[in-house]
Structure 1
């Protein structure tokens, strides 16, 4: 199944997110993932999206468990569901030390433990139960419970095991080979449904490829991701990234082939789509590039819709 995830691209107007959402709904995609970065609050954006679209189901997050407590998340999800009269699910994760510690001033240590706790606590709150958890003790939704599914964003072994206790695991920026290994571990631990967020551009024009390069540059030196890209044949780029060059210098060294290893791009999109399916991915959430020539990625979504139906 193909769904859509908002790109929230830093080099584009924030309002492009609404263009992507409207295009996804008009084209009949069944689901839309609404994350949260440096612009819109995800609950506010989801409400705007719900009021501007007709039928598409929404998944909000992943929300950082060190920043948002279960009550905050449950109240936000129930609020969106009540206001837009739409199916609303939720995703949680540990996020990064940059977001948690620098942006929010919260400790990132202990995030894995909080993630494991919040899966069950959040599920209960979303089903209308009164919470006994220390971070939301005694709270019960006063709005109708949305009975949302809970998804866990995962990459490392611990998060994968926690994801197996949730309704779904979501993977981001991942090669099909790495996805296959993680999904094997996930299903061995009892997990079932898997979504992968995958960047996409039908045209592969210069503006789109530059946007996608900017999207991966922060991952190349990161533990786990660096090894994944090395395995995919880009060890020289990873080694250079780990010397901490200026981002402009690193961008110039990222080949199109590296972007294609984790994306649905131009003529290789159909092949890569099949590889993700063979890896065990149940749902591919397309993150379309958004450029002046294709605002919101509508043309990319239209072309990928045809591939997804094959």
Structure 2
């Protein structure tokens, strides 16, 4: 089945304002709706609402951090969604970042690979209805059992940016989620997972032919992300270490404007899908042709095209 996903909530719209647009998605050709969890809505409630508004959609979290909830609470939340949307819910989990885990949620960002692996292994057992007593490398659980395990355990996919986590996703999970990459980068990522693993990526899309405006917007977004250590390491692995060095040096020196200016046009054009709707759809299909299983579009506003219009124009049925 060819998949074409969208991010909810939509930029500039609350979930309450999104109901009618979410209900339209299956008719437009969208197969998936994926949430995120940073500092806006949580990852689960939007999907619970969408489960009723558009019961044809597959629903997924991309992602829930493994260190901002206890393992048992994470299992309970996942079990609830799996019950609301049986066989349609995919739990995406990942390490997240020190800012989100430590600064915003008073947690500890330690051993991110190990914590993700251990959480995956715990969730496999807990969501299957087992009583779990286990001392993992990064935490210990004693006697946890879901009061109501889902009849069908959800698939679990991992946020993965580099080889070790990508291989874990391929070997022990049901797929991998990645972010901020070009169509050409998909091939390098896919080489680590093998051809059978579902590979999901959020693609930031701006339906606009105002190139200068889009690049300015893209630079602000990229500077916010690519200066995070995990993303800096990801793009170093992808081969952008040298071209992004001036940005990192300016950012480290506290000169935010110089950091923005140091991001080359070609990097923005590589990582942000933009142009008219037909150009954007063609670009998204390049990702798929290079091995991406599930594109998850995140239409971003620039004032030229409204988000509802962009969602409709980017749908596969629009072409």
TM > 0.5 fold call? yes
Query: Retained in 2: the 8 A contact 1:123–1:148?
Result: no
- Secondary structure at 2:141 match in 1: coil
C-alpha deviation, 1:140, in angstroms? 2.2
Q: Deviations over 1:46-75 (max 9, x none)?
A: 223333334222102411112223321221
1:170 paired to 2:180: no
Residue from 255, 259, 263 that aligns with 1:250: 259
- Change in CA separation of 1:308 and 1:93 when aligned onto 2, cut-off 3 Å: farther
Between the two proteins, the alignment pairs up a number of residues equal to: 304
1:227 paired to 2:202: no
Partner of 1:216: 222
CA–CA distance in structure 2, aligned partners of residues 292 and 237 of structure 1: 30
Query: Retained in 2: the 8 A contact 1:183–1:280?
Result: yes
What stretches of structure 1 of length at least 5 have no aligned partner?
A: none
C-alpha deviation, 1:185, in angstroms? 1.5
Alignment of 1:16-35 (within 5 A): 18=18, 21-35=22-36
What stretches of structure 2 of length at least 5 have no aligned partner?
A: 135-139
Partner of 1:285: 296
1:60 paired to 2:61: yes
- Change in CA separation of 1:307 and 1:125 when aligned onto 2, cut-off 3 Å: same
Partner of 1:42: 43
Alignment of 1:1-310 (within 5 A): 1-6=3-8, 12=12, 14-15=14-15, 18=18, 21-83=22-84, 87-133=88-134, 134-135=140-141, 137-142=143-148, 144-164=150-170, 165-187=172-194, 192-205=197-210, 210-221=216-227, 222=229, 223-227=232-236, 231=240, 234-235=243-244, 238-254=247-263, 256-266=265-275, 268-270=279-281, 272-295=283-306, 297-306=307-316
Query: Retained in 2: the 8 A contact 1:74–1:141?
Result: no
CA–CA distance in structure 2, aligned partners of residues 163 and 152 of structure 1: 6
Query: Retained in 1: the 8 A contact 2:72–2:144?
Result: no
C-alpha deviation, 1:230, in angstroms? 6.0
CA–CA distance in structure 2, aligned partners of residues 215 and 16 of structure 1: 26
C-alpha deviation, 1:176, in angstroms? 2.8
Partner of 2:137: none
Q: Deviations over 1:11-70 (max 9, x none)?
A: x45549836645534523111111111121222222233333342221024111122233
CA–CA distance in structure 2, aligned partners of residues 271 and 54 of structure 1: 28
- Change in CA separation of 1:249 and 1:307 when aligned onto 2, cut-off 3 Å: farther
Larger deviation, residues 83-92 vs 275-284: 83-92
- Change in CA separation of 1:236 and 1:159 when aligned onto 2, cut-off 3 Å: closer
Q: Deviations over 1:219-240 (max 9, x none)?
A: 3334324526863984465355
CA–CA distance in structure 1, aligned partners of residues 69 and 247 of structure 2: 33
Query: Retained in 1: the 8 A contact 2:26–2:56?
Result: yes
CA–CA distance in structure 1, aligned partners of residues 121 and 153 of structure 2: 13
Q: Deviations over 1:226-270 (max 9, x none)?
A: 526863984465355444444344335545532220232115535
Q: Deviations over 1:271-307 (max 9, x none)?
A: 5334323432111111111355544x33333333248
Q: Deviations over 1:131-152 (max 9, x none)?
A: 2333363312415344210000
- Secondary structure at 2:132 match in 1: coil
CA–CA distance in structure 1, aligned partners of residues 273 and 300 of structure 2: 10
Larger deviation, residues 121-130 vs 221-230: 221-230
- Secondary structure at 1:140 match in 2: coil
- Please, what TM-score do these two structures have when normalized by structure 1? 0.82
